[in-house]
Chain A
Amino acid sequence: MPEPVTRGEVLVDADDLAATYPGATVPAVASATFVVHGGERVSVLGPNGGGKSTLFRVLTGELTLSSGALALPAGRVALVPQTERSRLDFPVSALDVALMGAVSRMPWWRRPSRADRALAREALDRVGLADRAQRTFGDLSGGQRQRVLVARALVQDAPLLLLDEPFSGLDVPSAERLRALLDDLAAEGRGLLMATHDIEQARSWDRVLCLNRVQIAFGPPASTLTAQVIERTYGSEIVTLPGGVELGILPAHHHHHDHGGHGS
Chain B
Amino acid sequence: MIAWLTDPLTHGIVVRAMLELTLLGVVSGGLGCWIVLSGMSYSAESLAHGMLPGLVGAALLGVPLLVGGAVGLVIAALSIVVVARVPRLDSDVAVSVVVTALLGLGVLMGLSPRTPAGLGEILFGDVLGVSDLDIRLAAGLGAAIVVVLAVLHPTLMAIGFDRAGARALGRRPAPFDAVLAVLLAGATLVAVQALGNLLVVAMLVGPAATARVLCDRMAAMMLTATLVAFAGSVAGLYLSYHASVAAGASVTAAILTLYGLALLWRAATALRGRRTAAAHA
Residues of A within 8 A of B (CB): 57, 60-62, 77-79, 81, 85-87, 90-93, 96-97, 99-104, 106, 108-112, 136, 138-139, 156, 162
Pairwise interchain contact A81-B218, C-beta atoms closer than 8 A: no
Pairwise interchain contact B153-A61, C-beta atoms closer than 8 A: no
Task: Report the minimal beta-carbon distance from B267 to chain A, rounded to whole angstroms.
Answer: 17
Pairwise interchain contact A86-B169, C-beta atoms closer than 8 A: no
Cβ of B90 within 8 Å of any chain A Cβ, yes or no, is: no
Interface string of B201-228 (1 = CB under 8 A from A): 0000000000010011110110000000
Q: A61-B167, A90-B37 are in contact. Are A112 and B154 (CB under 8 A)?
A: yes
Pairwise interchain contact B151-A100, C-beta atoms closer than 8 A: no
Q: Which residues of B contact A139 (CB under 8 A)?
A: 216
Cβ of B155 within 8 Å of any chain A Cβ, yes or no, is: yes
Report the nearest B residue to A263, measured CB to CB.
Answer: B164
Pairwise interchain contact B171-A91, C-beta atoms closer than 8 A: no
**Residues of B153-177 whose CB lies within 8 A of A:** 153-155, 157-158, 160-162, 164-165, 167-171
Q: How far is the CA of A59 from the CA of B223 in the complex (A)?
A: 39
> Chain B contact residues: over half helix, strand or loop, or mixed?
helix
Q: How far is the CA of A221 from the CA of B56 in the complex (A)?
A: 71
Q: Which residues of B contact A62 (CB under 8 A)?
A: 167-168
Can you list 22 A-B pairs, Cβ within 8 angstroms, ordered by A?
A60-B165, A61-B168, A78-B168, A86-B161, A86-B162, A87-B160, A91-B37, A91-B217, A93-B217, A96-B218, A99-B154, A100-B161, A103-B169, A103-B170, A104-B168, A104-B169, A104-B170, A108-B152, A109-B151, A111-B153, A112-B154, A156-B169
Pairwise interchain contact B168-A108, C-beta atoms closer than 8 A: no
Most-contacted residue by chain B among A78, A103, A138 (CB, 10 A): A103
Task: Report the minimal beta-carbon distance from B90 to chain A, rounded to whole angstroms.
Answer: 14
Pairwise interchain contact A136-B169, C-beta atoms closer than 8 A: no
Pairwise interchain contact A92-B154, C-beta atoms closer than 8 A: no
Pairwise interchain contact A162-B168, C-beta atoms closer than 8 A: yes
Q: How far is the CA of A145 from the CA of B36 in the complex (A)?
A: 23
Q: A90-B37, A92-B218, A156-B169 are in contact. Are A103 and B161 (CB under 8 A)?
A: no
Q: How far is the CA of A60 from the CA of B169 in the complex (A)?
A: 9
> Given B165, B218, B220, B221, which contacts A79 in the complex, CB threshold below 8 Å?
B165
Most-contacted residue by chain B among A78, A90, A102, A162 (CB, 10 A): A90
Pairwise interchain contact A101-B169, C-beta atoms closer than 8 A: yes
Task: Report the minimal beta-carbon distance from A53 to chain B, rounded to whole angstroms.
Answer: 9
Task: Report the minimal beta-carbon distance from B245 to chain A, rounded to whole angstroms.
Answer: 35
Interface string of B13-26 (1 = CB under 8 A from A): 00000000000000
Task: Report the minimal beta-carbon distance from A194 to chain B, rounded to whole angstroms.
Answer: 15
Q: A81-B165, A103-B170 are in contact. Are A108 and B155 (CB under 8 A)?
A: yes
**Residues of B126-161 whose CB lies within 8 A of A:** 151-155, 157-158, 160-161
Report the nearest B residue to A53, measured CB to CB.
Answer: B164
Pairwise interchain contact B161-A81, C-beta atoms closer than 8 A: no
Q: How far is the CA of A151 from the CA of B163 in the complex (A)?
A: 18
> Given A100, A102, A109, which contacts B162 in the complex, CB threshold below 8 Å?
A100
Q: Which 4 A-B pairs have the closest CB atoms?
A: A79-B168, A62-B167, A60-B168, A100-B158
Task: Report the minimal beta-carbon distance from A239 to chain B, rounded to whole angstroms.
Answer: 27
Q: A97-B161, A100-B161 are in contact. Are A108 and B171 (CB under 8 A)?
A: yes
Most-contacted residue by chain A among B153, B169, B171, B220 (CB, 10 A): B169
Q: A103-B171, A104-B170, A108-B171 are in contact. Are A91 and B154 (CB under 8 A)?
A: no
Pairwise interchain contact A103-B158, C-beta atoms closer than 8 A: yes
Report the nearest A residue to B175, measured CB to CB.
Answer: A108
